[in-house]
Structure 1
Amino acid sequence: MIWAEFSDSLKWFFGAIRRSDAEKQLLYSKNKTGAFLIRESESQKGEFSLSVLDGGVVKHYRIRRLDEGGFFLTRRITFSTLNEFVSHYTKTSDGLCVKLGKPCLKIQVPAPFDLSYKTVDQWEIDRNSIQLLKRLGSGQFGEVWEGLWNNTTPVAVKTLKPGSMDPRDFLREAQIMKNLRHPKLIQLYAVCTLEDPIYIITELMRHGSLQEYLQSDAGSKIHLTQQVDIAAQVASGMAYLESRNYIHRDLAARNVLVGEHNIYKVADFGLARVFKVDNEDIYESKHEIKLPVKWTAPEAIRTNKFSIKSDVWSFGILLYEIITYGKMPYSGMTGAQVIQMLAQNYRLPQPSNCPQQFYNIMLECWNAEPKERPTFETLHWKLEDYFETDSSYSDANNFIR
């Protein structure tokens, strides 16, 4: 491994953490100006990034590697090891925003209690073991509740309207879903299917759907940095599904959930093919397959054939939702009108508050040719490195460009 030279004693080395997670760590109240960490670059394999706290703002620098080994920010001065690099910049800022101080303090975000190990051989749990406490939201398929399992464990409970799915179809899909485990995917714990309403029990995300959050007072206060972070977290979960050859089929803000500590996770993956839906925003094809047309790729509308590339199209629509604070895409247009416009190569226009760089990513997702759309892995690193400073130096003044 490229970091084999590092020992556990190097408190400043944080390994493969995300840019946004580095910021959260550095902005922890006990860190002071000059606090820093070094992390692996996701987009540039074999390279590293330096993240530094400067008066309440986190700044990032790309640490480049020499062909013959060693590291540098500017070719004016190079280092054989990262230890030497850190030693130098703790003595002088030498062009950095500040001189490096103490290594960043590590804080741990608590992981949700996972009861799935208790239900690994018993999918179906006793309905009486679930207590519904507070309704978090509702939709076309039913309601979502905050609940308690066995009077001890907080969980989320999705209650499905009678007739919204065939329990046998769902259980087949759930068997696959339970084996998909990633920090940016909602973990499925257990089910209650022996009577209506069907219960789907998952980890709890207290702030509800991303769609509702974006439209709320709290959501209206976020800005581009947080919006890009949301998109990057969703792309991370989707990149995992991509690596497992699994398709979501209904990626949208309504199917992303918001938890504590600015955590966002993809939910309801796989359920689209077992739901029996009936809604005016759903397009019903001649094969009687119903689609959320405003989020669905044109080729999936035409042929009913879904792929990870049709999920990428939907991700582009999700980016539109994020940047517009939950605005309905193709507002004022019916599903039939959207289909007609897409056939004429129409695309959602650039929102007034949307940077060109962000809109370009959306347009890549909406390439008419599915094969030309980016992978979720590519989308993930593009969003992770969206604000990454290119640490080229001006030798004249040693400031970052």
Structure 2
Amino acid sequence: KNQQESSSPENCYIQLSEASVESLLNFASLTLKELEIPREKLSPGTLQLIKRGRYGSTYRAQLETENPRKTKTVVLKALQGLASAQEVKYFLGRIKFHQDLGHHENLVELVGCCVDQLPLYMIMEDVSLGDLLTFLWTCRKDVMTTDGIPYDLTERQVYEVGQQVAAALAYLEQKKLFHGDVAARNVLLHHNFTAKLCGLGLAYETYTYGANSVTQIVPVKWQAPEKLLKKPCSIKADIWSFGILLYEMITLGAPPYPEVPPSDILSYLQRQNIMKQPSSCGQAMYGIMKSCWQWNATNRPSPEDLIRALQTAIKTSNDHAVLQVPELVVPELYANIAGVEVHSLVMEYTIL
């Protein structure tokens, strides 16, 4: 009887919405079975804290592979042991959402999960250079190298990373989704300059609960006007944020609208203001930024249009001059100007 009940979607939903933590985990062990990784394969003592989150922390860890002498580095998103049934349901939903989203080379990949008991782990691929914002800040330091690879960035590389993020947005659009929080802090970078869009929590919440039920807070300086005005959003709101991402890259991680307090950003935009052209930014790139910052969402490019514009501009871009910004970033000051929580910034920057 129980098996029959759980196979009916309505009953599943009722069962889940009123479920205890134990029944949620029992259900997850069936629905997420192919993703389940035994906990003992995560080498004990290898957990390194990356950042603290709302429901739990993010760690870097070592995962055993088929070869007993070899491990691979992964990133764990953890849900702490004292989680409520509601938090467990949300976390399991995020894992399922990632599984259903499927594979795209420019979206961070789900490796597996541990959902047999608390704490729960969502296991993601590790992306060697970490988040793009920290990378940009590190590029401000004198000739930083890691494994012999210099931390520097040219205009052409900004376009290359931009194309990859735009490709991820095109994929989300095909899936009738949008990201909702496009920013350098939500892009991960590999040594070979492959970029991966991450931070899909808002996309999951919008898809699952509808746009009006979203609880995740997005810093206002990255938001499109329609979002600030609490109007319905689409992928075109991501396009606005993409323009801010280009600004972040070309300025090596400067906070947007440095002269405008976060609380004044809507009235600033309502007066038809946009950010001025940064000194390090060429005309073609600023043209793309301005197209992203059209007040009317329908006038902004689609992800496909954006990819074409970036492909055209990259042909005449500079691949020799390294972008340089002499000032180092003070994370607390940045957080204040950007309107982000300082604890949301990755902890590694201070160590580098």
TM-score relative to the length of structure 1: 0.58
CA contact (8 A) 1:133 1:148 kept: no
Amino acid at match of 1:368: W
Where 2:257 maps in the other structure, the secondary structure is: coil
Closer, same or farther in 2 for the Cα pair 1:144/1:358, shift >3 Å? farther
Task: Provide the rounded CA distance (Å) in 2 between the counterparts of 1:272 and 1:195.
Answer: 26
1:147 aligns with 2:68: no
In the alignment, what sits opposite 2:313? 386
Q: How do residues 41-120 of structure 1 correspond to structure 2 at under 5 angstroms?
A: none
1:213 Cα deviation after fit: 0.6
Task: Provide the rounded CA distance (Å) in 2 between the counterparts of 1:148 and 1:207.
Answer: 18
Task: Please point out which of 235, 244, 251 is paired with 2:182.
Answer: 251
In the alignment, what sits opposite 1:135? 48
Amino acid at match of 2:299: E
Cα RMSD of the aligned pairs, angstroms, is: 3.0
Structure with greater helix percent: 2
CA contact (8 A) 2:277 2:286 kept: yes
Closer, same or farther in 2 for the Cα pair 1:383/1:286, shift >3 Å? closer
Amino acid at match of 1:251: V
CA contact (8 A) 1:256 1:267 kept: yes
Where 2:314 maps in the other structure, the secondary structure is: coil
Closer, same or farther in 2 for the Cα pair 1:137/1:272, shift >3 Å? farther
Where 1:148 maps in the other structure, the secondary structure is: strand
Q: 5+ residue gaps in structure 1? A: 1-118, 276-284, 390-401
In the alignment, what sits opposite 1:354? 281
Task: Provide the rounded CA distance (Å) in 1 between the counterparts of 2:187 and 2:230.
Answer: 26
Q: How many residues align?
A: 262
CA contact (8 A) 1:291 1:301 kept: no
TM-score relative to the length of structure 2: 0.66
Task: Provide the rounded CA distance (Å) in 1 between the counterparts of 2:78 and 2:240.
Answer: 27
CA contact (8 A) 2:221 2:265 kept: yes
1:378 Cα deviation after fit: 1.2
Task: Provide the rounded CA distance (Å) in 1 between the counterparts of 2:269 and 2:304.
Answer: 26
CA contact (8 A) 1:177 1:188 kept: yes
Identity of counterpart residues, as a percentage? 32
Task: Please point out which of 261, 265, 268 is paired with 2:196.
Answer: 265
1:127 Cα deviation after fit: 3.0
1:200 aligns with 2:122: yes
1:245 Cα deviation after fit: 1.4
1:126 aligns with 2:48: no
1:366 Cα deviation after fit: 1.1
1:209 Cα deviation after fit: 0.2
In the alignment, what sits opposite 1:321? 248
Task: Provide the rounded CA distance (Å) in 1 between the counterparts of 2:87 and 2:205.
Answer: 7
Q: 5+ residue gaps in structure 2? A: 1-30, 145-149, 207-211, 317-352
When Rg is computed on C-alpha atoms for both structures, the one with the higher figure is 1
1:359 Cα deviation after fit: 0.8
1:331 Cα deviation after fit: 2.4
1:244 Cα deviation after fit: 1.8
1:368 aligns with 2:281: no
Structure with greater strand percent: 1
